[in-house]
């Protein structure tokens, strides 16, 4: 060729192209020249490509852009025996693998690309899916475009796999992700399939992956990875040898190499339950993972170190102490809590993650209220071992003291009152059975019932701690929730709060029976509040106790506030019932309020239901009340009227309930006359009570008419309720209790008396009857029959009467006055009998009577 080589080159090869077609083919081949040529021909330093109408292209410095791994050697002679003669002497083999370095690691910023085919050493037409450039001295077929598969090719491929493993190791040491070099998916052909097998087999045992807890690389078949929970490796790396991080999208590659990819839950279950691990750091590392319910479920078996030295699995059921609580509580208290079944987390391992995983995080008051503490106190009450009892007492009082010191309030729990404390005489006694020496309770309550607590106990723990567990310093209120008016519903073996509270109240079953009688058996009355220890009041302390009950707003509300069931029916509260029936302050039943008594003149007066202040008001007392009822008991002389009322004081007979009526009626002297005004007041009040759905009145005596103008107290067996006014003439049948006809049946039921009509037939003797017309003037006043039967001697069932209305509505009378009464009853206008008698006996006054009706406000 003519000319000289370019400056810097010794040799120039000049090719003369036949035509433009050849020129285009060469131009295409030059465009395909890339880094693979320099990698395949390591003796070349650079390649410059320059074609017309294009900028020059220089290819050099491939080691700056590629991580390379090469190997070479000789194959056994037997492997080339079937190769062409010219190849049999060439037994040497060489392989080179290359993978581009990442941008920023000394390589180019633009992506490096290559043809994903086998280079032997130039590119063939055999594709490979291994993610690296392979240059290998593989045997080729006669076309020089395909690898000739066989023993020689297999041997070279095995050497290539070894070199690839070294490449992957170098790649990892260079800070790159080695799993990116793992071939996955379907091979591109037979050659690629064999290459896959050899590469995967070599990579599996090659240290490639960096564990979270160390610097030395581990082989994939010795590695563990977490499926779908990135970020946990740092937290758990020190506890799980070989724990590696699998980047997103490379899980398939990791599994291909034998990495044990497990769910987070399995990894957590396999964590060693060791105490010396830095669990707080572990929880901190896992905190970000527990952002959703699924992840928190996977962490359910996480080891949790406890304050007693144990390590348990799972945060659920564990208890996190409030900050600083471990310093405020005695170590023996924490030990006791552990023995009682509380899984108290080691304060050094406490972490918010545990609460998110189900651990309880109560404040000190909540810790005191824990069910394990309650059960320990309940068991203490039945345990004869004094050492165990002392342990429970000390731990609970320590907790109470910590709650108070922290500015909190211990729970109002009845079971705390069962905590055993020493009385002044050394006798172990429940806290609610003791009083604080020198307190108001000590002055008000009998020390034979509630003894003083030991002075040494007060000095050790303090009055506030002891009163918080139930030692009495004053009169106390006991709440009882979900009350049913049925003593049979009580379970003496139950230990719930309501049952324990009720057990501390004297005669509570009797009170429930009382509610059942006045409301209905089993009526739900909800949550009640009662004053406790009334049965322990010293005899000479009642004036002071009554003063406190009336003057202290909370106590007064418990005394006055009515009980209501789900239907709004009212009954008296326990405190009032107990004072009225059990205290001995009220004897003989209800009593008359003092005339003009003030309903509440003290500064602390409240409404009768105990809800707030009330304005003073007077209570006029009926004459019948003053006649029938005794005065205010002497013991209650200084009590205001609102309190007197709930203890049995009444101003009218209408205020008496069924129980109150019995002593009033039975107090009537048998056979003695009763003032008509008083009798009428009694009958009307009883008739009104009969209209209310309540319990029956069961007296032994009632006031009844024994003659037309005389009332006496008679035995109930001698009395009957008059169905209608005409039966008041039949005192031969029974002493009659008069009542409006519409109320007769109800009153009979209330007093358990028969109706008069049930005792005799009421048949009229018609022998001398003469039918007469009813005067027009009478018919103008009432609607009724137009005729009546006049008798000389009217008899009903053989007994003489002045008038009667028979079963068919017929009127019978011996006089016009009797006719007036018969007309009034038959027309249902009993109050018009006097007007009717006037127009019948004095017809001239008919107009006067008629006009007089204009002044009546509500003529019936």
860: DSSP letter: -
Distance from C-alpha of 743 to C-alpha of 230, rounded to nearest angstrom: 84
- Strand ordering across the sheet containing 710-715: 710-715, 701-707, 735-737, 719-721
pLDDT of residue 103: 53
Mean pLDDT calculated for residue range 477-481: 96
CA dihedral 580, 583, 588, 593 (to 10 degrees): -50
Share of residues in the chain with pLDDT > 90 (%)? 61
pLDDT of residue 217: 87
Alpha helices in 647-763 (DSSP H): 658-666, 676-690, 741-751
Calculate the average pLDDT of the chain: 89
Distance from C-alpha of 133 to C-alpha of 195, rounded to nearest angstrom: 13
157: enclosing H helix or E strand = helix 151-173
Q: Tell whether the model's pLDDT for residue 603 goes beyond 60.
A: no
pLDDT of residue 524: 97
pLDDT of residue 495: 92
Please state the domain extents for the chain. Answer: 1-207, 272-361, 656-758, 770-855
Q: pLDDT band for position 54 (50/70/90)?
A: confident
pLDDT of residue 245: 82
Q: pLDDT tens, 811-826?
A: 999 999 999 999 999 9
Q: pLDDT tens, 423-471?
A: 999 999 999 999 999 999 999 999 999 999 999 999 999 999 999 999 9
pLDDT of residue 833: 94
**Residue among 414, 539, 420 nearest 477 (CA):** 414
| Separation in Å, CA 619 to CA 49, 595, 641, 659 | 123, 7, 8, 22
Q: pLDDT band for position 774 (50/70/90)?
A: very high
Mean pLDDT calculated for residue range 679-691: 95
Mean pLDDT calculated for residue range 144-165: 91
Distance from C-alpha of 192 to C-alpha of 126, rounded to nearest angstrom: 8
Q: Tell whether the model's pLDDT for residue 262 goes beyond 90.
A: no
pTM for the complete prediction? 0.71
pLDDT of residue 749: 95
Do the Cβ atoms of 59 and 38 come closer than 8 Å? Answer: yes
Q: pLDDT band for position 610 (50/70/90)?
A: very low
Handedness of CA 11, 16, 20, 22 (dihedral sign): negative
The count of C-alpha atoms lying within 13 angstroms of the C-alpha of 169, restricted to the half-sphere facing its C-beta, is 18
Name the pairing type of β-strands 434-435 and 311-313.
unpaired
Mean pLDDT calculated for residue range 714-730: 97
pLDDT of residue 82: 76
Helices H, strands E: what count in the chain?
A: 34, 36
Distance from C-alpha of 497 to C-alpha of 511, rounded to nearest angstrom: 18
Distance from C-alpha of 698 to C-alpha of 703, rounded to nearest angstrom: 14
pLDDT of residue 860: 54
Do the Cβ atoms of 333 and 394 come closer than 8 Å? Answer: yes
Mean pLDDT calculated for residue range 751-764: 96
Q: Tell whether the model's pLDDT for residue 618 goes beyond 60.
A: no
Q: pLDDT tens, 799-811?
A: 999 999 999 999 9
Helix pair 331-339, 386-405: axis angle to 10 deg: 120
pLDDT of residue 111: 63
pLDDT of residue 606: 40
Q: pLDDT band for position 363 (50/70/90)?
A: very high
pLDDT of residue 20: 86
Do the Cβ atoms of 502 and 480 come closer than 8 Å? Answer: yes
Q: pLDDT band for position 559 (50/70/90)?
A: very high
Q: Which residues contact 133 (CB under 8 A, 6 or more apart)?
A: 35, 36, 39, 66, 97, 98, 99, 114, 119
Q: Tell whether the model's pLDDT for residue 607 goes beyond 70.
A: no
pLDDT of residue 34: 84
User: What angle (nearest 5°) sits at the alpha carbon of residue 679, between those of residues 677 and 680?
Assistant: 65
| Separation in Å, CA 394 to CA 237, 398, 509, 517 | 43, 6, 34, 45
Q: Which residues contact 30 (CB under 8 A, 6 or more apart)?
A: 49, 51
pLDDT of residue 114: 85
Mean pLDDT calculated for residue range 841-853: 89
């Amino acid at each position: 060729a003519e000319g000289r080589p370019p400056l810097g080159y010794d040799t120039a090869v000049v090719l003369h192209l036949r035509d433009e077609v050849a020129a285009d083919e060469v131009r295409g081949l030059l465009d395909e020249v890339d880094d693979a040529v320099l990698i395949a021909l390591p003796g070349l330093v650079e390649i410059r490509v320059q074609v017309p109408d294009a900028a020059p292209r220089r290819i050099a410095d491939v080691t700056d852009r590629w991580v390379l791994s090469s190997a070479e050697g000789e194959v056994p002679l037997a492997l080339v025996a079937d190769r062409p003669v010219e190849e049999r002497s060439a037994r040497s083999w060489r392989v080179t693998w290359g993978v581009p370095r990442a941008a920023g690691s000394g390589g180019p910023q633009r992506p490096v690309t290559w043809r994903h085919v086998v280079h032997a050493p130039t590119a063939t037409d055999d594709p490979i899916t291994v993610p690296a450039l392979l240059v290998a001295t593989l045997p080729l077929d006669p076309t020089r475009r395909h690898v000739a598969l066989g023993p020689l090719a297999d041997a070279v491929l095995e050497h290539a796999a070894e070199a690839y493993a070294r490449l992957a190791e170098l790649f990892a040491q260079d800070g790159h992700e080695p799993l990116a070099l793992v071939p996955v998916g379907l091979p591109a052909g037979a050659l690629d399939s064999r290459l896959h097998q050899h590469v995967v087999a070599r990579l599996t045992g090659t240290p490639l992956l960096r564990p979270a807890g160390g610097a030395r690389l581990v082989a994939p078949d010795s590695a563990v990875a977490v499926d779908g929970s990135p970020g946990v490796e740092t937290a758990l790396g020190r506890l799980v040898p070989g724990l590696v991080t699998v980047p997103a999208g490379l899980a398939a590659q990791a599994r291909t190499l034998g990495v044990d990819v497990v769910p987070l839950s399995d990894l957590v279950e396999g964590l060693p339950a060791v105490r010396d691990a830095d669990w707080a750091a572990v929880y901190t590392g896992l905190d970000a993972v527990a952002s959703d319910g699924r992840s928190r479920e996977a962490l359910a078996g996480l080891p949790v170190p406890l304050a007693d030295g144990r390590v348990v699995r799972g945060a659920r059921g564990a208890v996190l102490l409030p900050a600083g609580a471990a310093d405020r509580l005695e170590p023996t208290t924490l030990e006791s809590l552990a023995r009682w079944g509380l899984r108290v987390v080691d304060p050094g391992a406490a972490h918010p993650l545990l609460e998110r995983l189900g651990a309880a995080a109560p404040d000190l008051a909540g810790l005191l209220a824990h069910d394990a503490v309650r059960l320990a106190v309940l068991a203490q009450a039945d345990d004869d071992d004094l050492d165990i009892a002392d342990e429970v007492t000390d731990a609970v009082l320590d907790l109470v003291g910590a709650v108070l010191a922290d500015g909190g309030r211990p729970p109002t729990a009845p079971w705390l009152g069962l905590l055993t404390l020493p009385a002044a005489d050394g006798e172990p006694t429940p806290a609610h059975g003791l009083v604080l020496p020198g307190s108001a309770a000590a002055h008000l309550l009998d020390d034979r019932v509630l003894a003083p607590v030991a002075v040494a106990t007060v000095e050790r723990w303090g009055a506030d701690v002891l009163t918080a567990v139930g030692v009495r310093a004053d009169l106390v209120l006991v709440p009882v929730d979900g009350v049913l008016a049925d003593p049979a519903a009580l379970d003496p073996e139950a230990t719930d709060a309501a049952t324990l509270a009720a057990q501390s109240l004297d005669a509570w079953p009797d009170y429930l029976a009382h509610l059942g009688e006045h409301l209905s058996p089993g009526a739900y009355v909800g949550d009640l509040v009662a004053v406790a220890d009334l049965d322990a009041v010293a005899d000479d302390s009642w004036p002071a106790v009554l003063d406190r009950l009336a003057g202290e707003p909370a106590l007064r509300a418990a005394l006055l506030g009515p009980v209501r069931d789900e239907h709004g029916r009212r009954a008296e509260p326990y405190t009032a019932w107990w004072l009225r029936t059990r205290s001995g302050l009220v004897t003989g039943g209800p009593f008359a309020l003092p005339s003009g008594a003030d309903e509440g003149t003290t500064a602390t007066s409240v409404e009768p239901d105990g809800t707030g202040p009330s304005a003073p008001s007077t209570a006029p007392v009926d004459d019948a009340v003053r006649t029938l009822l005794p005065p205010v008991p002497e013991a209650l002389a200084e009590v205001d009227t609102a309190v007197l009322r709930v203890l049995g004081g009444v101003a009218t007979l209408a205020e008496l309930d069924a129980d109150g009526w019995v002593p009033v009626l039975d107090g009537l002297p048998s056979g003695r006359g009763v003032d008509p005004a008083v009798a009428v007041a009694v009958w009307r009040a009883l008739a009104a009570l009969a209209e209310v759905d309540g319990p029956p009145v069961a007296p032994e005596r009632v006031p009844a008419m024994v003659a037309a103008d005389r009332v006496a107290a008679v035995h109930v067996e001698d009395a009957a309720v008059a169905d209608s006014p005409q039966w008041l003439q039949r005192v031969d049948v029974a002493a009659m209790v008069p009542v409006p006809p519409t109320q007769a049946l109800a009153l009979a039921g209330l007093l358990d008396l028969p109706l008069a009509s049930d005792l005799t037939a009421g048949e009229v003797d018609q022998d001398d009857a003469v039918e007469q017309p009813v005067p027009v003037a009478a018919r103008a006043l009432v609607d009724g029959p137009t005729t009546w039967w006049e008798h000389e001697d009217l008899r009903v069932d053989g007994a003489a009467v002045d008038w009667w209305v028979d079963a068919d509505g017929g009127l019978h009378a011996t006089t016009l006055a009797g006719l007036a009464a018969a007309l009034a009853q038959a027309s249902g206008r009993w109050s018009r009998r006097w007007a009717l008698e006037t127009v019948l006996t004095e017809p001239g006054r008919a107009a006067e009577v008629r006009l007089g009706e204009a002044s009546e406000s509500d003529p019936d």
